[in-house]
A and B are shown apart, each in its own frame.
Chain A
Amino acid sequence: MAKVELFVNGRAVTGEAEDRTLLVHFLRENLGLTGTHVGCDTSQCGACVVHVDGRAVKSCTMLAAQASGSTITTIEGLSPNGELHPLQVAFRENHALQCGFCTPGMIMTSVDMIRRHPNGLDEATVRDQLEGNICRCTGYHNIVKAVLDASDKMGKGAVKAA
């Protein structure tokens, strides 16, 4: 068994897990954070994407023990004060989700994508960077729209703040 100490969604948590426990299973089963999903077993679908120390990581590619000491943000922690993150708003306003299963991973990936592209995004880049997230419902059309929309709005916000 491994001792796991994490800072998850602003809260310090500790727990024990089998050495082989993946971070996604620790989040779901030990912490009850079921917003992070498992859609495959080959790290392809991206339904399990969370942020580890601020970067998007497929939480099925990491052991819980490996993550120990890290700061984790899951979909549940994206809007800590109850106010939706601009990407959550954009997904709703652009109808970028249907069944909702891939959505948490899509949003967490997209938040990181926008962070890495402070000067904005174009359609080709968004499509390319969504390579690690599979959606079976939307055909990606509205997901791409939502990411571009949020990137736009967040960019404008940043300019204003500066």
Chain B
Amino acid sequence: MGVEGIGARVLRKEDKRFITGKGRYTDDMSVPGMKHAAFVRSPHAHAKITGIDVETAKKMPGVIGVLTGAELKADGIGNLICGWMIHSKDGTPMKMGAWSPLATDTVRYVGDAVVIVVADTKGQARDAAEAVDVSYEELPVVVKTAEALNEGAPQLHPEAPGNLIFDWDIGDEKATNDAFAGAAHVTKMDIVNGRLVPNAIEPRATLGVYDAGEDHYTCWTTSQNPHVARLVLSAFYNVAPENKLRVIAPDVGGGFGSKIFIYPEELICLWASKKTGVPVKWVADRTESFLADAHGRDHVTHAELAFDKDNKILGLKVQTIANLGAYMSLFSSSVPTYLYATLLSGQYDIPAIHANVKAVYTNTAPVDAYRGAGRPEASFVLERIMETAARELKVSPAELRRKNFIRTFPHQTPVIMNYDAGDFDATLDAGLKAADYEGFEKRREEAAKRGKLRGIGLSCYIEACGIAPSAAVGSLGAGVGLWESAEVRVNAIGTIEILTGSHSHGQGHETTFAQLATERFGVPIDSVSIVHGDTDKVQMGMGTYGSRSGAVGMSAVVKALDKVEAKAKKIAAHLLEADEADIEIKDGDVRVVGTDKSLPWFQVALAAYTAHNLPSGMEPGLKEGAFYDPSNFTFPGGCHICEVEIDPETGVTEIIQFVAADDFGKIINPMIVEGQVHGGLAQGIGQALLEGTHYDDTGQLLTASFMDYTMPRAQNLPSFNIMTTETPCPSNPLGIKGCGEAGAIGSPPAVINAITDAIHNNNLTMPATPQTVWNAIQAAK
């Protein structure tokens, strides 16, 4: 059964339903009596609500209910909250402004929900939403990250004077200043990491059903973490106690972070279902997704990197303003702090680091975790400034990196992280070889003869996955523990169900998690099923984000498998009259080592359930659960190399080759891992070349559709040249590091380093559209 176990390229078990149109996404759900919701949203980025007139709308055809925030408040539904407490450097807690699910007195971004309309059909709900008359008194607006803290900037929340949410720092400021004092060279840069819209292709959707007979709610929702949704909806928003609320995240069409958070719409639809007495479904249209899904990134940074005379790094200073939008989304505060500044040491031995992060409110959509969440921002800062430093110092960018690599582990960085393992030379060497880095100058000359500008850029990133030891994150302000759970149920005829708190929305868990049981017991993979995404079926779990399903979710499965294996061996030893230590389970049989005595796997399972002949005192059954709390983050790292060719006449960039050499530790299914890397690279290259989120000065989102926001399409991307090295992670039983976000973390700096190398102008913002690149070429002339 090695062909279906750990390390095998097993085709996905879940594919059949998706390729035949039988996937079941939230919008595919239908229950008797179901009605449809539409939201009235603010057309203004900042305004006082002076009146809401719903009378006309209520009389429109098919309308069942038109509900406002005042009614929501009256029913005791709570405000939305951010679940990670950050303290400013002066010790004061972050300043969280109130976020009412339906705005009652002030709207703070275009798309802020104000009224929900429920009607027989989607069309009728929309027609009636148009007829709701909300009166606004417009207020001044602040949109730009760098302007939010300006004196006299319009104020968003009374709780946060000056729009400052927190002023946080990490590292040793004095030691860093001292390090800079002795520097032979300092590279300084201003770096903008623009705002992105996640754009999972399945828009967010929810179906809220209140059962008056049981006083019970069911919430179908596009969630990456249904149990977290239930916890938050119950404990903080007072929708219903957990035992009266079932959350189901069925097939989910991509998440990328944007489906972690609990948004207003899910909780309003649940509440509206009770209020109107009908099941209420809402499906975002794409423009609503653009307006009201949590966005990503949006940092403005100044960084300085100090070197000694031998080009060894002495210290790093970073100042960042992070735009969190109009409200603090669920994990928004953790992204520009513990998921960002803790990674600023990268792959390098940096003796002193100091980073300061100011998080600000603006009249824009809330910003939270998006694929990589903080780590792409850190990697962009460090890998841009490393490449720039190499140019200033006139040394090879590859060699400057190599000179500063960390080579002994564990390695304690000055910014909390303790790297447990890595081999950065290995990924750099693999990348350089695959890209024929040495032969580049010849290719540059050849391209020049054709009138093209050719450039090459590197990025040696590190990231942190497998979030995270619960006590550690608790001490840093997390409102939840970040363990994972699993239950392994061996049925009486030996088939296996694994219930996991992880959630698959494209990652292939139904295959890779099953591979673990196949590896362990030698049973065919088709006899193993993965159950996830339903709080009524699965024990409490924390869900999928931060590339944690392998490192944390699978580790929980391994723990449960250990317990099942131990019990199965006890039963087998009893039945075979052998010593427990001599029992092995292999290829679907349970054997006494060194003898011909064996039992088929199913007979051991059957014996556990017939319970006719079990060891004395043993409980019947073969089902074990486990909770796994990681002992450390995991640290995937790698080397990404991008080679571009630019037409100086048009500014159009073509990616000639993209090489990614990544170290993900142990790999369960290489096919799945490659797919994760491809997707991450596309998002990272999308950010570098195509994706720009633009608000105008009045806070209108100009890029609110696929006509305006450039999603990467097949013709924008090359085929990728990817490979892996393997340094097992010592911190979890399988040695897994995680691979879901690496592509999006490593690639943007590689692309921008390549373009700036080609055009000899280092001043280039993302996205590097043809116009941006052409302008930069002209400016360099």
Contact = CB atoms under 8 A, between A and B. Distances in A.
Interface string B131-166: 000000000000000000000000000000000000
Interface stretch (A63-71, A100-108, A114-122, A153-161): A100-108
Given A95-B672, A138-B678, A139-B720, A100 B251 contact: yes
Given A42-B705, A45-B706, A99 B202 contact: yes
B679 A137 contact: yes
B21 A99 contact: no
B20 A79 contact: yes
Nearest to B505: A99
A92 B21 contact: no
A88 B506 contact: no
Contacts of A134: 201, 706, 711, 713
B675 A35 contact: no
Contact of A42 (B252, B706, B717): B706
Contacts of B14: 100
A152 B197 CA distance: 37
Interface in A65-114: 74-76, 78-79, 84, 88, 91-93, 95, 97-104, 107
A42 B287 CA distance: 9
Given A41-B287, A42-B286, A138-B679, A35 B20 contact: yes
Most buried by B among A75, A107, A140: A140
Contact of A38 (B27, B508, B706): B27
B199 to A, nearest CB: 6
Interface residues of B, number: 58
B706 A99 contact: no
A131 B19 CA distance: 20
B671 interface: yes
A144 B285 CA distance: 28
A143 interface: yes
A37 interface: yes
Nearest to A25: B122
Nearest to B256: A136
Interface string B409-448: 0000000000000000000000000000000000000000
A127 B287 contact: no
Contact of B675 (A18, A133, A142): A142
A16 interface: no
A136 B674 CA distance: 15
Contacts of A136: 199-201, 254, 256, 679, 682-683, 711
A135 interface: yes
B714 interface: yes
Given A92-B11, A99-B202, A139-B720, A36 B21 contact: yes
Most buried by A among B25, B251, B506: B506
A128 B715 contact: yes
B20 A101 contact: no
B719 interface: yes
A97 B254 CA distance: 11
B679 A101 contact: no
Contacts of A44: 705-707, 711
B449 interface: no
Interface string B459-488: 000000000000000000000000000000
Given A75-B21, A134-B201, A140-B713, 20 more contacts: A28-B28, A37-B253, A38-B27, A39-B201, A41-B286, A44-B707, A76-B20, A92-B12, A99-B251, A99-B506, A130-B715, A131-B713, A134-B713, A136-B254, A136-B682, A138-B679, A138-B682, A139-B678, A140-B682, A142-B674
Interface of A: 18, 20, 28, 33-42, 44-45, 47, 74-76, 78-79, 84, 88, 91-93, 95, 97-104, 107, 123, 126-128, 130-131, 133-144
11 contacts: A37-B27, A39-B203, A44-B706, A93-B11, A95-B12, A95-B674, A99-B505, A136-B683, A139-B679, A140-B714, A142-B678
10 tightest Cβ-Cβ pairs between the two chains A and B: A35-B21, A100-B18, A101-B253, A139-B682, A99-B506, A98-B506, A75-B21, A44-B706, A139-B678, A34-B28
